[in-house]
């Protein structure tokens, strides 16, 4: 049995190494370093790099600020229906980033539902900033909300007894306890915005950012060497984020006693207005592209119509949807199994630190960079342009977060299960099947949903790896948007949203039923 465990560990380690580091190594080895000086001296490259940093810094500030206030509202006010608010806040995560840009374009573009009455156009710098905030604040909210949940509530009572002011309490308890979560959120949001090309592609106009510049170099001009060098620049913020996650320890403590917010009507009202205002704006943007999907001739004579749906259906919508569903289900099934097995070995045995670092290293690789490395490494193999490579790149791209879900869940279980199994001569397989997996079913379902939803919405990781036979549905959005067929792009976004809502809703219902059964017992 020991030999079998060793063999499984070896193959898992080999899988991680070959799917993460081998493509990157091949990509770097094929760089023509003579192109480096040419690229650096290019005015368009320097402008794109400066634009990316400018947009990212400003959007990160707004995204983190909004996410903090929303997380504070959920945890430190007396608002009702907090679980519903959490769901509404995270709904924007169910559509591709380019769909947020499309929503802004249809709502605040030159002929947008709102802007055409006031004569302004959101396309350009501010369009990218607002779209990036809409795309990333739910991610930051989840990180900060989780951080609020781990604050020791008894510390607030101690501060109250000692007569601390609210500012002193915030500085000594809230801020100190949230420091790791806050830094994690900043790094995560900065990396997402800096490496995203969906929003800039939709609403950037002539304001070019680095990911769009990379996309044009590779897809438009086929300059793979220049694209690889640009990819190295995109890796910089993600690499620092990765190092932070490895070396920064979290010193916060937890308390079983839940935090009870003090009564403060003005605080609750102001934060409620802010929360509902953010949700209203978000759903106006999301609703605008849905409105576009159902309206014919929206500029001259808007009437209810299903012509856009008919057009997309006639152009192989079902085929592309089946491709996406097939890819997403395979990614969700095999990604969950692989992530869970790796987490089992790393969480239950302290000897596998290297495997743990390999498993979370995909956090440091933007989807576009990963997709380009796979293109360069496998473009002359039988796997290129197949479903296999699309499934593989999505598993690697999204593995880190589900892996950490499983890792944290397995760390919380009694570490003596395996020891008892050895004493009772019970094989590890049966301990895993009959004890450990049943105790982490909720986490496994969340891992499945994470893989599925993100595989449905991703564009960057698969942009270089498909052909007409294997093309995922999400890639129709930039195709239609590039041809100024905004209504058709809206139809595709709407279909993806419906599919992801169905999956997330089903997972939530199953988890709720399980919690209710446990409570009744």
Name the residue among 42, 32, 41, 39 with its Cα closest to residue 376: 32
Q: Tally Cβ neighbours within 10 Å of residue 512.
A: 12
Q: Tally Cβ neighbours within 10 Å of residue 7.
A: 10
Among residues 258, 292, 326, the one where a domain terminates is: 292
For residue 337, tell me if it sits in a domain: yes
Among residues 262, 292, 322, the one where a domain terminates is: 292
Contact partners, residue 388, CB within 8 Å, separation at least 6:
none
367 touches 434 (CB < 8 A) = no
102 touches 200 (CB < 8 A) = no
304 touches 295 (CB < 8 A) = yes
Q: Answer yes or no: do 252 and 138 share one domain.
A: yes
- Give mean pLDDT, residues 373-389: 87
| Confidence bin at 1 (pLDDT 50/70/90) | very low
pLDDT at 352: 65
Q: Answer yes or no: do 262 and 346 share one domain.
A: no
pLDDT at 242: 67
Q: Answer yes or no: do 224 and 282 share one domain.
A: yes
Q: Answer yes or no: do 278 and 331 share one domain.
A: no
pLDDT in tens, 162-188: 677 666 676 667 777 777 778 878 888
pLDDT at 432: 76
pLDDT at 59: 94
pLDDT over 50 (residue 252)? no
215 touches 366 (CB < 8 A) = no
For residue 431, tell me if it sits in a domain: no
pLDDT at 27: 84
pLDDT at 427: 74
Among residues 245, 261, 292, the one where a domain terminates is: 292
For residue 4, tell me if it sits in a domain: no
Q: Answer yes or no: do 144 and 288 share one domain.
A: yes
pLDDT over 80 (residue 468)? yes
pLDDT at 258: 56
Q: Answer yes or no: do 274 and 323 share one domain.
A: no
Instruction: Output the average pLDDT for the chain.
Output: 81
Q: Which residue has the higher pLDDT, 8 or 505?
A: 505
pLDDT at 248: 62
| Confidence bin at 251 (pLDDT 50/70/90) | very low
Least confident of 57-66, 275-284, 506-515: 506-515
Least confident of 12-21, 119-128, 292-301: 292-301
- Give mean pLDDT, residues 19-33: 82
**Number of structural domains in the chain:** 2
- Give mean pLDDT, residues 93-99: 86
| Confidence bin at 75 (pLDDT 50/70/90) | confident
pLDDT at 216: 78
Q: Answer yes or no: do 357 and 387 share one domain.
A: yes
For residue 121, tell me if it sits in a domain: yes
pLDDT over 80 (residue 5)? no
pLDDT in tens, 393-421: 999 988 888 888 888 778 777 777 766 76
DSSP 399-441: -HHHHHHHHHHHHHS-TTHHHHHHHTT--HHHHIIIIIHHHTH
Q: Answer yes or no: do 152 and 269 share one domain.
A: yes
In order of 125, 151, 173, 422, the CA distances from 418 in angstroms are 56, 32, 38, 6
pLDDT at 237: 75
Count of H helices and E strands in the chain? Answer: 26, 2
Q: Answer yes or no: do 314 and 286 share one domain.
A: no
Q: Answer yes or no: do 263 and 148 share one domain.
A: yes
- Give mean pLDDT, residues 353-381: 80
Q: Answer yes or no: do 207 and 272 share one domain.
A: yes
Give burial (CB, 10 Å; 0-12/13-18/19+) of 134.
buried
- How many Å apart are CA 242 and CA 232, to the nearest integer? 15
- How many Å apart are CA 252 and CA 152, to the nearest integer? 8
199 touches 132 (CB < 8 A) = yes
For residue 39, tell me if it sits in a domain: no
pLDDT at 304: 79
pLDDT over 60 (residue 250)? no
For residue 434, tell me if it sits in a domain: no
Structural domain including 174 reads: 47-292
Q: Answer yes or no: do 273 and 352 share one domain.
A: no
CA 257-263-267 angle, to 5 degrees, is 115
| Confidence bin at 424 (pLDDT 50/70/90) | confident
pLDDT over 70 (residue 466)? yes
Residue 282 belongs to domain with CATH number: 1.10.3720.10
pLDDT in tens, 195-242: 888 888 888 888 888 888 887 777 666 667 777 788 778 777 767 766
Say what the pTM is.
Answer: 0.83
For residue 358, tell me if it sits in a domain: yes
For residue 198, tell me if it sits in a domain: yes
- How many Å apart are CA 203 and CA 220, to the nearest integer? 19
């Amino acid at each position: 049995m020991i030999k079998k465990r060793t063999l499984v560990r070896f193959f898992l380690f080999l899988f991680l190494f070959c799917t993460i580091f081998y493509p990157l190594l091949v990509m770097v080895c094929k760089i023509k370093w003579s192109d480096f000086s040419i690229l650096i001296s290019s005015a368009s490259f320097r402008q794109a790099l400066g634009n990316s940093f400018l947009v990212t810094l400003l959007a990160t500030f707004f995204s983190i600020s909004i996410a903090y206030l929303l997380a504070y509202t959920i945890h430190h006010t007396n608002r009702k229906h907090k679980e519903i608010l959490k769901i509404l806040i995270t709904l924007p995560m169910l559509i591709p980033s380019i769909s947020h840009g499309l929503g802004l374009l249809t709502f605040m573009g030159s002929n947008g539902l709102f802007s055409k009455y006031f004569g302004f156009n959101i396309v350009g710098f501010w369009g990218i900033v607002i779209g990036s905030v809409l795309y990333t604040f739910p991610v930051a909210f989840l990180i900060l909300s989780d951080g609020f949940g781990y604050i020791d509530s008894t510390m607030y009572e101690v501060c109250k007894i000692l007569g601390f002011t609210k500012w002193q309490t915030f500085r000594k308890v809230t801020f100190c306890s949230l420091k790791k979560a806050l830094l994690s959120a900043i790094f995560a949001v900065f990396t997402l915005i800096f490496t995203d090309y969906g929003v800039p592609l939709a609403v950037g106009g002539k304001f070019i950012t680095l990911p769009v510049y990379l996309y044009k170099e590779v897809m438009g001009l086929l300059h793979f060497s220049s694209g690889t060098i640009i990819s190295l620049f995109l890796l910089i913020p993600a690499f620092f984020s990765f190092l932070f996650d490895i070396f920064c320890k979290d010193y916060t403590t937890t308390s079983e006693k839940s935090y009870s917010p003090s009564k403060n009507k003005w605080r609750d009202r102001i934060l409620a207005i802010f929360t509902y205002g953010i949700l209203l704006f978000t759903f106006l943007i999301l609703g605008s592209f849905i409105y576009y999907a159902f309206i014919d001739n929206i500029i001259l004579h808007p009437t209810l119509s299903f012509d856009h749906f008919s057009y997309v259906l006639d152009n192989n919508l079902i085929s592309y949807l089946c491709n996406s569903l097939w890819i997403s289900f395979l990614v969700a099934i095999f990604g969950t199994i692989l992530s869970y097995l790796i987490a089992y070995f790393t969480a239950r045995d302290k000897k596998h630190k290297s495997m743990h670092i390999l498993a979370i290293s995909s956090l440091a690789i933007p989807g576009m960079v990963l997709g380009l490395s796979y293109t360069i490494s496998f473009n002359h193999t039988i796997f290129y342009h197949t479903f296999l490579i699309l499934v593989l790149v999505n598993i690697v791209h999204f593995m880190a977060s589900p892996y950490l879900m499983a890792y944290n869940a397995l760390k919380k279980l009694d570490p003596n299960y395996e020891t008892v199994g050895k004493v009772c001569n019970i094989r590890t397989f049966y301990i895993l099947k009959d004890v450990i997996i049943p105790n982490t079913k909720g986490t496994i379902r969340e891992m499945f949903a994470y893989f599925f939803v993100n595989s449905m919405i991703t564009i960057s990781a698969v942009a270089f790896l498909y052909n007409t036979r294997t093309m995922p549905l999400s890639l129709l959005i930039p195709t239609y948007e590039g041809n100024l067929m905004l209504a058709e792009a809206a139809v595709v976004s709407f279909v993806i949203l419906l599919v992801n809502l169905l999956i997330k809703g089903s997972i939530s219902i199953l988890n709720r039923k399980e919690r209710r059964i446990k409570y009744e017992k």
